[in-house]
Structure 1
């Protein structure tokens, strides 16, 4: 029944905002370049936290939209410091790179805005059990990290995930030294030999989904996530994302493309797929499967999306995407990753109140410039 609902959803045109490119959204797309890189000599590792889905380096409650509206906007110097980044290599060495941002325009603090309350009871998770969908775009682009998180393939050799899956805000997790990415693919399963029917084939073959694990060559995280004397802990949540370079390319026909988060989501739905650590759900479906869900954004700030998509531990790091349409709403649908799922957080809602949301980091123009720079090192290729 769940699969039928999913098929109906995927083949039906839903009420989404038609967005073509980013020149029509009024967003400026800057570009980023490296200034200088130096090796870090300090101790960088600490034992892995028990809760893989909770950013241990963050405060338990986020500064919400009303709180952020009172903060001064970032200037050029602060934004460049935040977009500086560390690169951790598989041999244990680490570097810090300072960057220069060109064509960046500061944004005004977000105003307190909220949509009408959505009927969250209609939203739910769908376990992708059909083998055809498991091995097909976009579900095949959802990957599992050996740390227990999820991620999304954005090129044959790059995975976007949450920073807290590899770094707790102060130290790298010990498991990063042997970090692997699991890509689900279909493998032939051989049956027993048949002796009584010589004319039949001696071996029956069935398909089963299994992980193919690939070692990570290097991992990059933004300076905005790393806690220091010059950083704000509440600001770190805005930069909970990381990019991993794989040692070998993944053989797939299509990958999720990165885009810039639109200024307003209303009434756009967001989607993401991951590997929820939910024993009851997995047991009911017969093993570990990709879990897909969609919902509407309840609240939003300049850097975060607050929503109530159903999710469990293990889904953190999944790529949050929207469905866009070309040619002013008349062309084909396409998908763009415009955020990274961070996890469940308590958010200040003003006047001393608080609300619980599942939070995702928005890919702003500046973050897009950084991630694209990590992938291509060429500003000419960073024009979505």
Structure 2
């Protein structure tokens, strides 16, 4: 119902437009189409004519899954667009690839596509987003207290100020804590300077500097080779971090000398939307080992099982990731209040030994990002 109302509003907006080109039975301009999409939460909307077809560049930060954002755009444009319609979704101000509106094909971007994007990229096209992000850590199975948990709510935002470069920060509000001795005073949320790059064709890089989840601070560099239509992808991660802690309004740190260096290979199996990922190397606390993940994508939801072995011991567990309801809460022309597009949680059976420990930054890992944009997933094949 809510989606139908949105489309009706967008359609009414277009009916008022005066034109430069005929789409269906209505005469509207490309600028009017861009405004209609922007009104529905799309950002960095740039529509490019290519003969009798349209190529639509956009970013929509409310959707975790690009399929949903493209389907939503098609519902808005379907009465006015020509038969040839393709999308170039952006992630973190970087174009990820080109996708047919009917999901019949996917393709790498051309140099001409990149030149068009760079010429039209405007940081004023982004709204000021305020995200509501729950943060939950829990241990289970203790005799005296079966569940020990630490729950907080994060209010954060991300500013884009250069191509692919942003600053994220916010306020962490503790709700309850039976897991450790940290106080319940509001404090600075994990804050990072992030640089995301979609390099030539299938190469990606992501650098993050600042404070992270799991009480880590320092730098994290990720690289990934992920062909848009390939079943294999490869990645590496280098991180140098230290421990930090905020207590009684004071910021405590330890020496930044914990080196993490890992490499991984991931295979998207012919089984529908199931991927296998093997990661090996040195994890936190100089723990050398390997981890195998099996991940199943259910549209907007990822569910995974994993097993780990290292010098510290063995471990098994599960993880999941999904967007939080309701998404948009309030949206204005330049400001939006919403829930997070991705809530990720992982549970390990072995809570005592630090087996293949890692940490979360303020963005998903590169493998989790590129998996969403893989052509086999988009086309449902």
Structures share a fold, TM > 0.5? no
Question: Could you say which structure has the greater relative contact order, defined with CA pairs below 8 angstroms and 6 or more residues apart?
Answer: 1
Q: TM-score under structure 2 normalisation? A: 0.27
In proportion to residue count, which structure has more strand?
Answer: 2
